[in-house]
Structure 1
Amino acid sequence: MIKRILYTVLALGLALYAGSASAQQLSLAQISQYLNQLQTAQGGFTQINQDGTLSTGQIYIKRPGRIRFEYNAPDDTLVIGGGGSLAIFDPRSNAGPDRYPLNQTPLGIILRENVNLDQADMVTGVASDGTTTTVTAQDPDHPEYGNIQLVFTANPVELRQWIVTDDLGTPTTVILNDLTKGGRVRDVLFNIQAETRNRSN
Protein backbone atom coordinates (compact mmCIF):
# COMPACT_ATOMS: atom_id res chain seq x y z
CA MET A 1 0.00 0.00 0.00
CA ILE A 2 2.82 2.40 0.88
CA LYS A 3 4.51 1.75 -2.45
CA ARG A 4 1.25 2.35 -4.30
CA ILE A 5 0.84 5.74 -2.61
CA LEU A 6 4.46 6.69 -3.30
CA TYR A 7 4.23 5.84 -6.98
CA THR A 8 0.95 7.78 -7.26
CA VAL A 9 2.69 10.81 -5.75
CA LEU A 10 5.59 10.27 -8.16
CA ALA A 11 3.27 10.17 -11.16
CA LEU A 12 1.54 13.37 -10.07
CA GLY A 13 4.89 15.06 -9.56
CA LEU A 14 6.01 14.18 -13.06
CA ALA A 15 2.77 15.52 -14.48
CA LEU A 16 3.36 18.85 -12.74
CA TYR A 17 6.95 18.93 -13.96
CA ALA A 18 5.83 18.32 -17.50
CA GLY A 19 3.73 21.48 -17.54
CA SER A 20 2.96 22.34 -21.13
CA ALA A 21 5.27 19.69 -22.61
CA SER A 22 3.94 18.46 -25.91
CA ALA A 23 2.77 14.90 -26.38
CA GLN A 24 5.86 13.70 -28.16
CA GLN A 25 8.39 10.94 -27.71
CA LEU A 26 11.97 12.12 -27.57
CA SER A 27 14.42 10.44 -29.92
CA LEU A 28 17.52 8.64 -28.68
CA ALA A 29 19.61 11.25 -30.50
CA GLN A 30 17.89 14.07 -28.57
CA ILE A 31 18.45 12.32 -25.25
CA SER A 32 22.09 11.51 -26.05
CA GLN A 33 22.69 15.14 -26.98
CA TYR A 34 21.12 16.33 -23.73
CA LEU A 35 23.31 14.04 -21.63
CA ASN A 36 26.47 14.96 -23.51
CA GLN A 37 25.75 18.66 -23.00
CA LEU A 38 25.12 18.13 -19.28
CA GLN A 39 28.62 18.97 -18.05
CA THR A 40 27.79 20.14 -14.52
CA ALA A 41 24.59 20.10 -12.49
CA GLN A 42 23.40 20.22 -8.91
CA GLY A 43 20.12 20.09 -7.05
CA GLY A 44 18.03 18.11 -4.62
CA PHE A 45 16.83 14.53 -4.88
CA THR A 46 14.31 12.21 -3.31
CA GLN A 47 15.11 8.51 -3.31
CA ILE A 48 12.51 5.76 -3.09
CA ASN A 49 14.16 2.71 -1.60
CA GLN A 50 13.20 -0.89 -2.25
CA ASP A 51 11.28 -1.11 1.03
CA GLY A 52 9.22 1.99 0.19
CA THR A 53 11.07 4.35 2.55
CA LEU A 54 12.23 7.76 1.37
CA SER A 55 15.63 9.42 1.57
CA THR A 56 16.47 12.99 0.54
CA GLY A 57 19.62 14.94 -0.15
CA GLN A 58 21.74 16.92 -2.58
CA ILE A 59 23.22 15.67 -5.85
CA TYR A 60 26.23 17.03 -7.74
CA ILE A 61 27.21 15.95 -11.25
CA LYS A 62 30.37 16.73 -13.18
CA ARG A 63 30.69 14.77 -16.37
CA PRO A 64 32.45 12.71 -17.36
CA GLY A 65 32.69 10.21 -14.57
CA ARG A 66 31.80 12.21 -11.45
CA ILE A 67 28.70 12.23 -9.25
CA ARG A 68 28.01 12.85 -5.56
CA PHE A 69 24.97 12.08 -3.38
CA GLU A 70 24.85 13.76 0.04
CA TYR A 71 22.02 12.18 2.05
CA ASN A 72 20.23 14.21 4.71
CA ALA A 73 19.82 13.10 8.31
CA PRO A 74 19.01 10.65 9.71
CA ASP A 75 20.65 8.72 6.85
CA ASP A 76 23.82 10.86 6.46
CA THR A 77 25.27 8.43 3.89
CA LEU A 78 27.62 9.85 1.26
CA VAL A 79 28.09 8.32 -2.19
CA ILE A 80 30.89 9.58 -4.44
CA GLY A 81 31.65 8.60 -8.01
CA GLY A 82 35.07 9.71 -9.17
CA GLY A 83 38.41 8.41 -10.38
CA GLY A 84 36.70 5.42 -11.96
CA SER A 85 35.19 4.23 -8.66
CA LEU A 86 31.91 4.50 -6.80
CA ALA A 87 32.44 4.81 -3.04
CA ILE A 88 29.75 4.50 -0.36
CA PHE A 89 30.56 6.12 2.98
CA ASP A 90 28.48 4.77 5.86
CA PRO A 91 28.63 7.16 8.85
CA ARG A 92 28.16 4.20 11.21
CA SER A 93 31.28 2.44 9.94
CA ASN A 94 34.93 3.09 10.79
CA ALA A 95 36.24 0.74 8.10
CA GLY A 96 36.33 3.22 5.22
CA PRO A 97 34.05 3.28 2.19
CA ASP A 98 32.80 0.34 0.18
CA ARG A 99 34.17 0.78 -3.35
CA TYR A 100 33.02 -0.52 -6.73
CA PRO A 101 34.17 0.11 -10.31
CA LEU A 102 31.96 2.89 -11.63
CA ASN A 103 31.78 1.33 -15.09
CA GLN A 104 30.28 -1.79 -13.52
CA THR A 105 27.26 0.16 -12.26
CA PRO A 106 24.32 1.43 -14.35
CA LEU A 107 25.21 5.03 -13.41
CA GLY A 108 28.38 4.64 -15.45
CA ILE A 109 26.24 4.65 -18.60
CA ILE A 110 25.14 8.29 -18.23
CA LEU A 111 28.48 9.47 -16.85
CA ARG A 112 30.47 8.36 -19.88
CA GLU A 113 32.38 11.02 -21.78
CA ASN A 114 30.34 10.24 -24.88
CA VAL A 115 26.82 8.89 -24.38
CA ASN A 116 25.49 7.23 -27.53
CA LEU A 117 22.14 5.58 -26.89
CA ASP A 118 22.00 4.52 -30.54
CA GLN A 119 24.81 2.05 -29.83
CA ALA A 120 23.74 -1.49 -30.61
CA ASP A 121 22.04 -3.31 -27.71
CA MET A 122 22.44 -0.37 -25.29
CA VAL A 123 18.76 0.60 -25.20
CA THR A 124 16.36 -2.21 -24.34
CA GLY A 125 13.17 -0.18 -24.16
CA VAL A 126 11.62 3.19 -25.02
CA ALA A 127 8.17 4.29 -23.88
CA SER A 128 6.17 7.53 -23.86
CA ASP A 129 3.00 8.42 -21.95
CA GLY A 130 2.43 11.73 -23.70
CA THR A 131 4.34 13.87 -21.20
CA THR A 132 7.44 11.80 -20.46
CA THR A 133 9.80 9.57 -22.39
CA THR A 134 11.36 6.65 -20.54
CA VAL A 135 14.49 4.99 -21.87
CA THR A 136 15.90 1.77 -20.40
CA ALA A 137 19.63 1.37 -21.03
CA GLN A 138 22.34 -1.12 -20.14
CA ASP A 139 26.00 -1.73 -20.88
CA PRO A 140 25.72 -3.72 -24.12
CA ASP A 141 28.88 -5.65 -23.29
CA HIS A 142 27.83 -6.43 -19.72
CA PRO A 143 24.04 -6.55 -19.29
CA GLU A 144 24.64 -8.46 -16.06
CA TYR A 145 25.65 -5.15 -14.41
CA GLY A 146 21.99 -4.07 -14.37
CA ASN A 147 20.18 -1.25 -16.11
CA ILE A 148 18.99 2.32 -15.70
CA GLN A 149 15.60 3.74 -16.65
CA LEU A 150 15.81 7.44 -17.48
CA VAL A 151 12.66 9.58 -17.45
CA PHE A 152 12.65 12.82 -19.47
CA THR A 153 10.19 15.60 -20.19
CA ALA A 154 10.29 17.70 -23.35
CA ASN A 155 10.27 21.40 -24.31
CA PRO A 156 12.92 21.79 -23.04
CA VAL A 157 14.40 18.31 -22.65
CA GLU A 158 14.95 17.67 -18.93
CA LEU A 159 16.01 14.61 -16.93
CA ARG A 160 13.45 14.17 -14.15
CA GLN A 161 14.23 10.83 -12.55
CA TRP A 162 15.95 7.50 -12.96
CA ILE A 163 15.48 3.98 -11.68
CA VAL A 164 18.67 1.98 -11.24
CA THR A 165 18.30 -1.79 -11.12
CA ASP A 166 21.54 -3.34 -9.89
CA ASP A 167 23.12 -6.70 -10.65
CA LEU A 168 20.95 -8.32 -7.96
CA GLY A 169 17.74 -6.96 -9.49
CA THR A 170 17.20 -4.37 -6.75
CA PRO A 171 15.55 -1.15 -8.01
CA THR A 172 16.25 2.30 -6.56
CA THR A 173 14.31 5.34 -7.77
CA VAL A 174 15.86 8.83 -7.68
CA ILE A 175 13.61 11.84 -8.37
CA LEU A 176 15.52 15.01 -9.23
CA ASN A 177 14.30 18.24 -7.64
CA ASP A 178 15.21 21.60 -9.21
CA LEU A 179 18.27 20.26 -11.00
CA THR A 180 20.32 23.30 -12.06
CA LYS A 181 22.58 22.76 -15.04
CA GLY A 182 25.88 24.58 -15.51
CA GLY A 183 27.85 26.54 -12.99
CA ARG A 184 30.98 25.74 -11.04
CA VAL A 185 31.10 22.42 -9.20
CA ARG A 186 34.34 21.88 -7.24
CA ASP A 187 36.50 18.88 -8.15
CA VAL A 188 37.17 18.10 -4.47
CA LEU A 189 33.55 16.96 -4.10
CA PHE A 190 34.43 13.87 -6.15
CA ASN A 191 37.78 13.07 -4.52
CA ILE A 192 37.27 9.74 -2.75
CA GLN A 193 40.76 9.67 -1.24
CA ALA A 194 40.41 13.17 0.21
CA GLU A 195 37.04 12.30 1.73
CA THR A 196 38.50 9.11 3.22
CA ARG A 197 41.38 11.08 4.79
CA ASN A 198 39.01 13.70 6.23
CA ARG A 199 36.91 11.03 7.89
CA SER A 200 39.90 9.25 9.39
CA ASN A 201 41.16 12.37 11.19
Structure 2
Amino acid sequence: MLSSKSFARAFVPVALVALAAPAQANDLKSVEASLSATQSMTANFVQTDGKGRQMAGTLSLKRPGKIRFAYGGGVNMLLVANGKTLSFIDYDVGQKSSWPIAKSPLSVLLSPNPDLGRIARLVPSDNPQVVVVRARDARRPEFGTLVLAFIKSASAPGGLRLEGWTAIDAQNKKTTVRLSNQRYNVAVPDSAFTYAEPKRKKA
Protein backbone atom coordinates (compact mmCIF):
# COMPACT_ATOMS: atom_id res chain seq x y z
CA MET A 1 0.00 0.00 0.00
CA LEU A 2 1.39 3.40 -0.95
CA SER A 3 1.57 6.06 1.74
CA SER A 4 -0.56 9.15 1.31
CA LYS A 5 2.63 11.16 0.83
CA SER A 6 3.83 8.87 -1.96
CA PHE A 7 0.46 8.87 -3.67
CA ALA A 8 0.23 12.65 -3.45
CA ARG A 9 3.40 12.83 -5.53
CA ALA A 10 1.51 11.09 -8.33
CA PHE A 11 -0.42 14.33 -8.80
CA VAL A 12 2.58 16.64 -8.49
CA PRO A 13 2.75 16.63 -12.33
CA VAL A 14 0.27 19.49 -12.38
CA ALA A 15 3.07 21.61 -10.90
CA LEU A 16 5.83 19.85 -12.83
CA VAL A 17 4.41 19.91 -16.33
CA ALA A 18 7.45 21.80 -17.59
CA LEU A 19 9.72 19.04 -16.29
CA ALA A 20 8.06 16.23 -18.21
CA ALA A 21 10.73 13.97 -19.72
CA PRO A 22 10.57 12.50 -23.23
CA ALA A 23 8.31 9.46 -23.17
CA GLN A 24 9.88 6.02 -23.14
CA ALA A 25 8.09 3.93 -25.74
CA ASN A 26 7.83 0.80 -23.59
CA ASP A 27 6.24 2.64 -20.65
CA LEU A 28 3.72 4.40 -22.87
CA LYS A 29 2.89 1.10 -24.54
CA SER A 30 2.16 -0.33 -21.08
CA VAL A 31 -0.27 2.52 -20.40
CA GLU A 32 -1.90 2.02 -23.81
CA ALA A 33 -2.23 -1.71 -23.07
CA SER A 34 -3.85 -0.97 -19.71
CA LEU A 35 -6.36 1.44 -21.25
CA SER A 36 -7.15 -0.97 -24.09
CA ALA A 37 -7.69 -3.84 -21.62
CA THR A 38 -10.10 -1.74 -19.55
CA GLN A 39 -13.39 -2.34 -21.28
CA SER A 40 -15.40 -1.13 -18.30
CA MET A 41 -14.86 0.16 -14.77
CA THR A 42 -16.81 1.31 -11.75
CA ALA A 43 -15.34 3.26 -8.85
CA ASN A 44 -15.95 5.83 -6.16
CA PHE A 45 -14.44 9.24 -6.80
CA VAL A 46 -13.58 12.49 -5.08
CA GLN A 47 -13.37 15.51 -7.38
CA THR A 48 -11.44 18.63 -6.36
CA ASP A 49 -11.49 21.87 -8.33
CA GLY A 50 -8.84 24.58 -8.49
CA LYS A 51 -10.29 26.33 -5.43
CA GLY A 52 -10.14 23.19 -3.30
CA ARG A 53 -13.87 22.51 -3.38
CA GLN A 54 -14.71 18.82 -3.31
CA MET A 55 -17.57 16.65 -4.51
CA ALA A 56 -17.84 12.87 -4.26
CA GLY A 57 -19.84 10.23 -6.04
CA THR A 58 -19.70 7.10 -8.18
CA LEU A 59 -18.16 6.64 -11.60
CA SER A 60 -19.15 4.25 -14.38
CA LEU A 61 -16.99 3.85 -17.49
CA LYS A 62 -17.50 1.79 -20.62
CA ARG A 63 -15.13 2.09 -23.53
CA PRO A 64 -15.30 3.41 -26.09
CA GLY A 65 -16.75 6.79 -25.35
CA LYS A 66 -18.96 6.31 -22.30
CA ILE A 67 -18.52 7.66 -18.78
CA ARG A 68 -20.83 8.84 -16.01
CA PHE A 69 -20.07 10.86 -12.89
CA ALA A 70 -23.04 10.55 -10.53
CA TYR A 71 -22.56 13.07 -7.71
CA GLY A 72 -23.76 12.33 -4.19
CA GLY A 73 -24.36 14.45 -1.14
CA GLY A 74 -27.42 16.18 -2.55
CA VAL A 75 -25.51 17.62 -5.53
CA ASN A 76 -28.10 17.74 -8.31
CA MET A 77 -25.66 17.60 -11.22
CA LEU A 78 -24.48 14.98 -13.70
CA LEU A 79 -21.56 14.61 -16.11
CA VAL A 80 -22.14 11.90 -18.71
CA ALA A 81 -20.79 10.83 -22.10
CA ASN A 82 -23.00 8.65 -24.30
CA GLY A 83 -20.40 7.53 -26.84
CA LYS A 84 -20.31 10.72 -28.89
CA THR A 85 -21.17 13.70 -26.71
CA LEU A 86 -20.05 14.73 -23.22
CA SER A 87 -22.79 16.60 -21.35
CA PHE A 88 -22.86 18.48 -18.06
CA ILE A 89 -26.35 18.83 -16.60
CA ASP A 90 -27.26 21.12 -13.71
CA TYR A 91 -30.78 20.16 -12.71
CA ASP A 92 -31.09 22.91 -10.10
CA VAL A 93 -30.85 25.65 -12.73
CA GLY A 94 -32.25 23.56 -15.59
CA GLN A 95 -29.26 23.87 -17.92
CA LYS A 96 -27.19 21.50 -20.05
CA SER A 97 -23.86 22.07 -21.79
CA SER A 98 -22.59 19.57 -24.37
CA TRP A 99 -19.50 19.15 -26.53
CA PRO A 100 -17.90 16.34 -28.58
CA ILE A 101 -15.93 13.83 -26.51
CA ALA A 102 -13.01 14.23 -28.92
CA LYS A 103 -12.68 17.87 -27.82
CA SER A 104 -12.47 16.95 -24.13
CA PRO A 105 -9.36 15.91 -22.16
CA LEU A 106 -11.29 12.74 -21.24
CA SER A 107 -10.98 11.56 -24.84
CA VAL A 108 -7.63 10.02 -23.83
CA LEU A 109 -9.46 7.68 -21.43
CA LEU A 110 -12.38 6.94 -23.71
CA SER A 111 -10.72 6.51 -27.11
CA PRO A 112 -11.42 3.16 -28.82
CA ASN A 113 -7.75 2.92 -29.86
CA PRO A 114 -5.46 4.60 -27.33
CA ASP A 115 -2.41 6.00 -29.14
CA LEU A 116 -0.23 8.00 -26.77
CA GLY A 117 3.01 8.05 -28.73
CA ARG A 118 2.45 11.45 -30.36
CA ILE A 119 0.65 13.30 -27.56
CA ALA A 120 1.98 11.90 -24.27
CA ARG A 121 5.06 12.23 -22.08
CA LEU A 122 6.05 10.48 -18.89
CA VAL A 123 6.32 12.66 -15.79
CA PRO A 124 9.20 11.80 -13.42
CA SER A 125 8.18 10.01 -10.23
CA ASP A 126 10.41 9.08 -7.30
CA ASN A 127 8.26 6.02 -6.61
CA PRO A 128 8.94 3.08 -8.97
CA GLN A 129 5.41 1.78 -8.37
CA VAL A 130 3.83 4.96 -9.76
CA VAL A 131 3.46 5.75 -13.47
CA VAL A 132 2.34 9.25 -14.43
CA VAL A 133 1.56 10.32 -17.99
CA ARG A 134 0.77 13.81 -19.28
CA ALA A 135 -1.27 13.79 -22.49
CA ARG A 136 -1.74 16.92 -24.60
CA ASP A 137 -2.19 17.26 -28.34
CA ALA A 138 0.11 20.14 -29.33
CA ARG A 139 -1.80 20.45 -32.60
CA ARG A 140 -5.04 21.05 -30.68
CA PRO A 141 -4.15 22.77 -27.39
CA GLU A 142 -7.73 23.98 -27.03
CA PHE A 143 -8.69 20.39 -26.17
CA GLY A 144 -6.79 20.63 -22.88
CA THR A 145 -4.44 18.33 -20.98
CA LEU A 146 -4.97 15.13 -19.01
CA VAL A 147 -2.44 13.93 -16.41
CA LEU A 148 -3.08 10.27 -15.56
CA ALA A 149 -1.73 8.50 -12.46
CA PHE A 150 -1.38 4.71 -12.29
CA ILE A 151 -0.06 2.33 -9.65
CA LYS A 152 1.51 -0.94 -10.72
CA SER A 153 -0.77 -3.83 -9.77
CA ALA A 154 -0.69 -7.36 -11.16
CA SER A 155 -4.47 -7.69 -10.72
CA ALA A 156 -5.31 -4.61 -12.81
CA PRO A 157 -5.69 -4.59 -16.62
CA GLY A 158 -2.26 -4.42 -18.22
CA GLY A 159 -0.69 -4.43 -14.75
CA LEU A 160 -1.59 -0.79 -14.05
CA ARG A 161 -4.39 0.43 -11.76
CA LEU A 162 -5.78 3.84 -12.64
CA GLU A 163 -5.76 5.92 -9.45
CA GLY A 164 -7.00 9.20 -10.87
CA TRP A 165 -6.22 12.15 -13.09
CA THR A 166 -6.00 15.91 -13.34
CA ALA A 167 -7.78 17.58 -16.25
CA ILE A 168 -6.53 21.01 -17.32
CA ASP A 169 -8.75 22.88 -19.75
CA ALA A 170 -7.80 25.54 -22.30
CA GLN A 171 -8.33 28.26 -19.65
CA ASN A 172 -5.87 26.43 -17.33
CA LYS A 173 -8.63 25.44 -14.92
CA LYS A 174 -7.67 22.25 -13.09
CA THR A 175 -9.93 19.47 -11.83
CA THR A 176 -8.46 16.48 -9.99
CA VAL A 177 -10.28 13.16 -9.66
CA ARG A 178 -9.10 10.47 -7.21
CA LEU A 179 -10.53 6.98 -7.46
CA SER A 180 -11.14 4.22 -4.93
CA ASN A 181 -12.84 0.81 -4.93
CA GLN A 182 -12.03 0.32 -8.62
CA ARG A 183 -13.69 -2.70 -10.25
CA TYR A 184 -12.57 -3.55 -13.76
CA ASN A 185 -14.38 -5.21 -16.66
CA VAL A 186 -17.66 -5.61 -14.82
CA ALA A 187 -21.09 -5.46 -16.43
CA VAL A 188 -22.19 -1.85 -16.97
CA PRO A 189 -25.49 -1.41 -18.87
CA ASP A 190 -25.73 1.16 -21.65
CA SER A 191 -28.66 2.67 -19.75
CA ALA A 192 -26.12 4.03 -17.25
CA PHE A 193 -25.15 6.62 -19.86
CA THR A 194 -28.61 8.03 -20.48
CA TYR A 195 -30.13 10.93 -18.56
CA ALA A 196 -33.28 12.95 -18.08
CA GLU A 197 -33.30 16.28 -19.86
CA PRO A 198 -33.25 19.21 -17.42
CA LYS A 199 -36.35 21.34 -17.11
CA ARG A 200 -35.57 24.99 -17.69
CA LYS A 201 -36.40 27.07 -14.64
CA LYS A 202 -38.87 29.91 -15.06
CA ALA A 203 -37.49 33.37 -14.43
Determine which of 165, 168, 175 is the counterpart of 1:162: 165
Give the C-alpha shift of residue 106 in structure 1. 0.4
- What SS does the corresponding residue of 1:103 show, helix, strand or coil? helix
Identity %: 27
Is residue 2:89 matched to residue 1:89?
A: yes
Q: Greater CA deviation, 165-174 or 86-95?
A: 86-95
In 2: Cα distance, 1:83 partner to 1:30 partner: 25
Query: Equivalent residue for 2:146?
Result: 148
Q: Which TM-score applies when normalising by structure 1?
A: 0.80
In 2: Cα distance, 1:81 partner to 1:139 partner: 21
- What SS does the corresponding residue of 2:135 show, helix, strand or coil? strand
Give the C-alpha shift of residue 195 in structure 1. 2.6
Q: Which TM-score applies when normalising by structure 2?
A: 0.79
Q: Greater CA deviation, 142-151 or 127-136?
A: 127-136
- What SS does the corresponding residue of 2:186 show, helix, strand or coil? coil
User: Conserved in 2, the CA contact under 8 Å of 1:71 and 1:77?
Assistant: yes
Unmatched runs of 5 consecutive residues or more in structure 1: 1-9, 16-24
Query: Equivalent residue for 1:99?
Result: 98
Query: Equivalent residue for 2:113?
Result: 114
User: Conserved in 1, the CA contact under 8 Å of 2:40 and 2:188?
Assistant: yes
Question: 1:40-189 maps to which residues of 2 (within 5 A)?
Answer: 40-95=40-95, 97-118=96-117, 120=118, 122-130=119-127, 131-156=129-154, 157-189=160-192
In 2: Cα distance, 1:141 partner to 1:82 partner: 26
In 1: Cα distance, 2:89 partner to 2:185 partner: 27
Q: Say how many residue pairs are matched.
A: 176
Q: State the one-letter code of the partner of 1:195.
A: A
User: Conserved in 1, the CA contact under 8 Å of 2:76 and 2:92?
Assistant: no
Q: Between Structure 1 and Structure 2, which shows a larger proportion of helix residues?
A: 1
Query: Equivalent residue for 1:29?
Result: 29
